[in-house]
Amino acid sequence: MARRRLALFVAAGLAVAVVLAFFLGPAASSQPDGLNRVAIDEGFADEEAGHRLDDSPLAGYQVKGVDGDRLSTGLAGAVGVTVTFVLAGGLFLVLRRRRTTE
């Protein structure tokens, strides 16, 4: 029972995260963030080097090949949320396994 309720809670939480990323991600402010604002105002913004993975399929919260900014950003966000969930959850499972088998 407790396990099922936890699974339900996590599933609901994950759904909220996917919905936030898909619908609100594309509506995010595109103004420079706090650090970039300071870099612009204080004159070191030009020091920024291009990102070496700028050509990757999800670079800049845009799915390559998907037309339409909103859809492209929303999809990139939904994929990112899912990948992050699996990685963080999986990492902790591995940590627990190692602890209990020692």
Partner 1 sequence: MHIPDGFIDAPTSLAAGAAAAGALVVCARRSGEMMEDKHAPMAGLVAAFIFAAQMINFPVAGGTSGHLLGGALAAILVGPYLGALCVSVVLVVQALMIADGGLSALGLNIVNMALVGAFAGYGIFLLARRLLRATRGGVMAASAVAAFLAVVLGALAFTAEYAIGGAGGASLTRVAGAMVGVHLLIGLGEALITALTVSAVLAVRPDLVHGARDLAGRLAPLADRTAAVRS
| Residues in contact with partner 1 by the rule CB under 8 A | 3, 5-7, 9-10, 13-14, 16-18, 20-21, 24-25, 27-35, 37-39, 41-44, 46-49, 51-54, 56, 58-61, 76-77, 80-93, 95-96, 98-99
Per-residue tokens: 56: 């990757």
Nearest alpha-carbon partner for 78 in 25, 10, 8, 30: 25
CB of 70 to partner 1, least distance (A): 13
CB of 9 to partner 1, least distance (A): 5
Cα separation, 76 vs 25, in Å, equals 9
Are 74 and 26 in contact by the 8 Å Cβ rule? The answer is: yes
Q: Closer to partner 1 at the Cβ: 30 or 67? A: 30
Q: Closer to partner 1 at the Cβ: 35 or 67? A: 35
Cα separation, 47 vs 43, in Å, equals 9
CB of 6 to partner 1, least distance (A): 6
